[in-house]
Structure 1
Amino acid sequence: MNLQVPHRTLASLALATAALVGLSACPGDSGDGSSEDVGSEDTTTETTTDGTADTTTDTTETTTDTSTDTTTDTTETTTDTTTGEQPPGCECVVDDPGVEDVPTPPSPLICGDDLCPMLVANYDFDLNDYALENPEDLECVLTALRDRTPGVIRWVDDDGGQFTDYGYILIAEDGSAIRRNWGAQDLSYVVSPAELGSLHLPMVYEDCLVLDMDMDKYFCAKQHLASVDLVCDEGWEYTSI
């Protein structure tokens, strides 16, 4: 027996089937969950980005500050230690480089006025001894040493041959003194250190003033310091041998 399905019934079945297919394609609870996951990913990204930026900025600023401070301090220290200035008390003495291959005298003092005429002693071959050309200036020199008068006293003695001796004593305001001498010594030329220290007691120079022989007074005037505190310049020696 053949059954005939009415056309209306077939149309109703087709519509019902299409409706079921449409319902399965619409977003449901799982669609809402997916939407929340996307939002979560955005939040995580923003948090991570902010945290990394802040940390990097802080580290960079700290490194820059430390490097700048350290470099500046080192430069200032180097500048202070390379000024080349003489120690206190030695300001009038030039720090000579020391010429060992040439018989060169030291540089002149750059301060200090002469207190008296230079004492000059020459060798007298008739007397077979030194004689002072200006004994009248001994009192000026010895008095300045005794009284610690600020300024410079100078001397020179020459034997007319292989020995000469030039020198000075610079008396400072505080009573300290710098002594130096230089000249020919046989086949050498010697520049002594410029020494800063103390003069002898005033009574020593007072006793020198009453000596009988002029040359004794002369050697008393140019004698070495009583004590040495430091060397302003090392000096040097030239030997022609």
Structure 2
Amino acid sequence: MKIALIGYGKMGKAIEAIATAKGHEIIHRIDVNSPHLLEKEHLQQADVAIEFTTPETAYDNILKCFEANVPVVCGTTGWLDKLPDIKARCLEKHQAFLYASNFSIGVNIFFEINKRLAELMASQTQYDVRMEEIHHTQKKDAPSGTAITLAEQILERQYKKTRWVNKERCKPEELSIVSKRIDPAPGTHIVTYASDIDDITITHTAHSREGFAAGAVVAAAWLNGKKGIFTMKDVLNL
């Protein structure tokens, strides 16, 4: 599989190491120093693109992949106000798009556990739910995309909570997400249901970027040759 890496920071380099170890070929490494590689004639040389850049550039990068008829896997967070438009354009142009706030296989299993726990706790009104996420200081968005996914899963099932807020002190109807930036943490997400009697806590802790990178490569191989809009649930058959 020929891969165009859009974004060649720490995550891009981790993806490159895993992809090449699996026998895939990185044909383009695109960053701020090589914007010309985003032109159609270059992108068309790839079987699939993997996009990890910034909230400011992700939307345009994805559209360029659509124009080049190249399936795109996107892991950039912080731009999701434009996701409905991207999905509509993907279907309109008969392209392939896979977005995940986190490509780690462990995190995607954690998502399923989070949803089930939220369902079980919906009727247990003596518990209040809160969240915490910890990442390295270079993380550009807060809360993390993974934390937002977890929070939205809870809001869909915890009817006394109406919205999430990125602060510790909040109203009873708000779901608190506390964001901490501490080096060298790759990512920790904690969901706690607390009562006067006891607490129930689920935690996912990443030890390195390898889990995210490996999942992105698996997703890219899975997306190659497909058309439509997908998530990691489709990849992992969850």
TM-score range, shorter chain: under 0.3
Counting helix residues as a fraction of each chain, which structure ranks higher?
Answer: 1
Larger Rg: 1
TM-score by length of 1: 0.22
Relative contact order (alpha carbons < 8 A, sep ≥ 6): 1 or 2 greater? 2
